[in-house]
Amino acid sequence: FYEAYGEAGFDQQTHPIASQSTQEAEIAQMSARAAAGSITAAPYFSTLQTPANLRFVAAWRKRFGTVLPITACAESAYFQVMLYAQTLARAGSDRLEAMLPHLHEHEFDAPQGRVRIDQENHHTYLWPRVARVDAQGTFQVVDDPGLRVKPDPYMYENRFDPLAGRPA
């Protein structure tokens, strides 16, 4: 699509493609020319200069090399496992009823910034950002409000109580 968009005469510098589903992995599959100028919104981009991200990127590169892109999905999988490990350590058991009371007691210094799970809806506070692809095919953050946002998941009013097995 991105290649065809450019071939059709559209210029991403003046009429960019904005897609929340286009991440580093998708950009790596297209030419830098086709990708340059496109925009996405996500809590994480591998170009973030936080100390936690610099450590995360270095560890990623050591394990997987420089070819495999680092995406927001990879970063979220990482911090979710870390939050799970912290909760498991506090609960002393992997049973839901043992872990749930401890789920909201801590934060984790994720590559995107400090994250925590909201007590009301069990979703994660995240850091909203907007980035644009540069001429080298790399996302550069162009808008970062510098704050994490309380989660507001879809269909919040239809909460489900996992312990009771029915709506809350």
**130-144: b (≥16 Cβ within 10 Å) or e:** bbbbeeebbbeeeee
The mean pLDDT of 96-104, rounded to a whole number, is 92
Higher model confidence: residue 121 or residue 95?
95
Higher model confidence: residue 129 or residue 164?
129
pLDDT tens per residue, range 12-56: 999 999 998 899 999 999 999 999 999 999 999 999 999 999 999
Residue with tokens 């080298």: 136
Beta carbons of 168 and 156 less than 8 angstroms apart? no
pTM for the full model? 0.85
- The CATH number that domain 2-151 falls under is 3.40.50
Higher model confidence: residue 20 or residue 158?
20
> Does the pLDDT at position 156 exceed 90?
no
Residue with tokens 């005469």: 9
| pLDDT reported for residue 120 | 87
DSSP of 15-65, one letter per residue? S--B-TT--HHHHHTS-HHHHTT-EEEES--TT---HHHHHHHHHHHHHH-
> Does the pLDDT at position 167 exceed 90?
no
| pLDDT reported for residue 110 | 97
Per-domain residue ranges of the chain? 2-151
Alpha-carbon separation of residue 141 from 15, 113, 134 (angstroms):
18, 14, 10
Q: What value, to the nearest 5°, has the Cα angle with vertex 141 and ends 16 and 112?
A: 130
